Amino acid sequence: MAGMFGLVAASGAWADPDGAGIYMDLCASCHGEARLGGIGPALIPEALGRLRGESLSGIIANGRVATQMPAFATTLSAEEVEAVAAYVSSPLAHIPDWGVAEIEASRVMTENYLPVQKPVFEADLMNITLVVETGDHHVSVLNGDTFEVLDRFATPFAVHGGPKFSPDGRYVFVMSRDGWVQKYDIWALKEVGRIRAGVNSRNIAMSEDGRWLAVANYLPHTLTILSTEDLHVASVREIVAQDGQSSRVSAVYQAPQRRSFILALKDAPEIWEIGTSDDAGPFADAKTGEEKGVFARRRIVVDEPLDDFFFTPDYGKLIGASRAGDRGVVVDLDAGKEIAELPLPGMPHLGSGISWQRAGHDVMATPHLKEGKLSVIDTKDWSIVKVIETLGPGFFLRSHENSKYVWADVFFGPNKDKMHVIDKETLEIVKTLDPAPGKTVAHIEFTKTGKYALVSIWEDDGAVIVYDAETLEEVKRLPMRKPSGKYNVWNKITFSDGTSH
């Protein structure tokens, strides 16, 4: 690439900016000739959507701090930068093959990795808490009692969604938007290996028995199922609706009691349920018999595509968001049909929904991405219990069975630095925290017993703030690089009340 650079600099700018040509000369060696990524991320519209306000041409011209992305402003004219930006923003001419062979070929196992007989550190293994740091693509492994950082490991570029722990909490799996799945051994504090399960992926889910990890893909239109043991490919299933329509998978969820994965389909009015064991259970009972075997699929036909699911704690029902983002649709998973509708204007973010018991009733709460409010819903009769006004639209909610409070961030707008603390009984905001004026303050996780609540200052020179979850006083600030989600082993593997799944 250096030689190519010299040639270009010596001969001046390209005569007629040819984005594709410039890409091949300057970008392909890191981002791949087919734009599917290499040492740099994939440069395709599906991946670039996440830039969230950062300008693509700005990144090409000025580079990216703390990455290997150089600044091209001295090599390329403004028109040439725009031409490359336009080229990488254009859809791929064809969806690349990414089947069993390609996925298997991408697997890289860590050479010097050896399992250990016991953890290489002293700590309560159930109180380990991971912090995903998206600023420089790392995960910090915290001792949840002392908040000491036990390890900080590099992840693939742009991790999204919650990492998933094995049922015993010993291993964790992390997924990036470019479809890489990384397996990490918490006892050994070492990466075990990684594999690219999709070209552009959404999230992952662990089967109830811990044997399988499902990866929801946008590109190609598939669900990849990996063996958690050695990351081999167990299944790549194409997603085709009954009318022949191919669909992206918006998300995959684990339904532990049903021993199944539940899939939200982006482009088809169907919900899929895929079994993860042959045993009897709600999934096996509800299955129509159209397919048999461990990954048997069941289709649940709905009126329109539904996205972003909240599940009742028994995984018997889900609420999905309508495409218009103005209502929630309740689906009974056993009956396999829609049973209710709820008015939820302002784009509910049901995936962040949490549930708890209030005055003998099961309730859930969801933030809305386009309105400053939280809807609290009775999950028996699907009535709206209360709409809580907030200082702006929020993204994440969290509570814990031992806490009196729900914590809700204000992710968007001028009050993005605020964090509301809400009483679970009165549904009143009891305190609004403002720990880092002007900075985004978001996402909450509790430690195992609910004693502390951990909150992110979501900035490159950010921090995780540890609060006493009862007094709401700050206890500690741990410097972190744009910390996003935090995940406590115990809360996740026990499906703690108050965590979104």
Token digits of residue 235 = 């299944």
> DSSP of 323-381, one letter per residue?
TTSSEEEEEETTTTEEEEEEE--S-B-GGG-EEEEETTEEEEEEEBSSSSEEEEEETTT
Which residue in 127, 134, 176, 200 binds ligand DHE (CB under 6 A)? Answer: 134
- Are 342 and 333 within 8 A, CB to CB? no
Is the CB of 50 or the CB of 380 nearer to ligand DHE? Answer: 50
Distance CA 215, CA 196 (A): 10
User: How many chain residues touch ligand DHE (CB under 6 A)?
Assistant: 16
Q: DSSP H helical segments within 192-308, as ranges?
A: 282-286
As measured in angstroms, the least distance from the Cβ of 83 to ligand DHE is 26
Nearest CB to ligand DHE, comparing residues 17 and 351: 351
Determine which residue in the list 160, 194, 297, 451 makes contact with ligand DHE, applying CB under 6 A: 160
Binding to ligand DHE by CB under 6 A, coded x per residue (else -) over 203-242, reads x---------------------------------------
By CB under 6 A, is residue 322 in contact with ligand DHE?
Answer: no
Q: Are 439 and 459 in contact (CB under 8 A)?
A: yes
Choose, by CB under 6 A, the member of 144, 162, 305, 353 that binds ligand DHE: 162
Q: C-beta of 45: minimal distance to ligand DHE in Å?
A: 12
- Torsion angle, CA of 78/80/85/91, rounded to 10 degrees? 150
Q: Which of 101, 142, 95 is nearest to 123 (CA)?
A: 142
Catalogue the E-assigned strands of 113-185. Answer: 128-133, 138-143, 149-154, 164-165, 171-175, 180-185
Binding of residue 251 to ligand DHE (CB under 6 A)? yes
Tokens of 19: 């984005």
Q: Does 247 bind ligand DHE (CB under 6 A)?
A: no
Q: What residues form DSSP beta bridges with 204? A: 215
Query: Count of alpha carbons within 13 Å of 250, Cβ hemisphere only?
Result: 20
Q: Which is nearer to ligand DHE, 80 or 178 (CB)?
A: 178
Binding mask 51-70 for ligand DHE (x = CB under 6 A): -x------------------
Please report whether residue 50 would count as binding ligand DHE according to CB under 6 A: yes
- The interface region with ligand DHE, picked from 7-15, 44-52, 111-119, 459-467 by CB under 6 A, is 44-52
Q: How far is the CB of 118 from ligand DHE (least distance, A)?
A: 29
Angle at 165 between CA 350 and CA 454, to 5 degrees: 65
Binding site for ligand DHE (CB under 6 A): 49-50, 52, 134, 160-162, 202-203, 251, 351, 395, 443, 484-485, 500
